Each structure stands twice: as structure tokens, then as C-alpha cells.
Amino acid sequence: MTSMTSEKPSESQLRLALAQFLFAKDIDIETLYRALGADLSSADAEAVSHMAGIIDGVRLATAKIRAHGLDDWAKK
């Protein structure tokens, strides 16, 4: 848990934390979106494109975590 005086994590740090959580709980990102009730089919094209980039990044991070372990995945 972070203290009240610490800085907020950046968006990329939050995405990394999400990827680590999803890996730890063996949840794929599409399942998460369905559970949250997110329907990307009704979103505008720019939003869908942005979300696709985030999804790809989370997939890549979780694949690297699986292949190289939580401590060493970013070094590979």
C-alpha cells in the first residue's frame, strides 16, 4: 500500500501493475472487459484503437512474465 505522500503511478506503471495482476490471477484481458461490462463495439474508432494498443501491451507483458518470470521479464 502506498503512503499518502507518495506520487501517483504513471499510466504505464498502472498498465504494468494490471498485467502483473492479470498474470498472477490467470485472467485474460478480454475476460476482464466482459466482467466490467465494457462493450468496445459501441465505442468510437479512436477509443477502440487506443484500447487495442493497451490490450496488446498487456498481452505482451503477460507473455514475457510467463516466459521469463516476474522478476526478469523486462530484462529479456
The DSSP 8-state label assigned to residue 6 in this structure reads S
Grade residue 5 by pLDDT with cuts at 50, 70 and 90: low
Q: Identify the domain containing residue 19 by its residue range.
A: 11-75
User: In degrees rounded to 5, what are phi and psi of residue 25?
Assistant: -100, 0
| 6: pLDDT strictly greater than 50 | yes
Q: Domains in the chain: how many in total?
A: 1
For helices 45-68 and 29-36, give the axis angle rounded to 10 degrees.
130
Any alpha helices (H) in the chain, and if so which ranges? Answer: 11-25, 29-36, 45-68
pTM flag (> 0.85): no
Residues 7-60: pLDDT tens digits? 888 887 888 888 788 888 888 877 887 887 877 677 777 877 887 788 888 888
User: Is residue 5, in this structure, part of any structural domain at all?
Assistant: no
User: Is residue 60, in this structure, part of any structural domain at all?
Assistant: yes
User: Is residue 31, in this structure, part of any structural domain at all?
Assistant: yes
| 3: pLDDT strictly greater than 70 | no
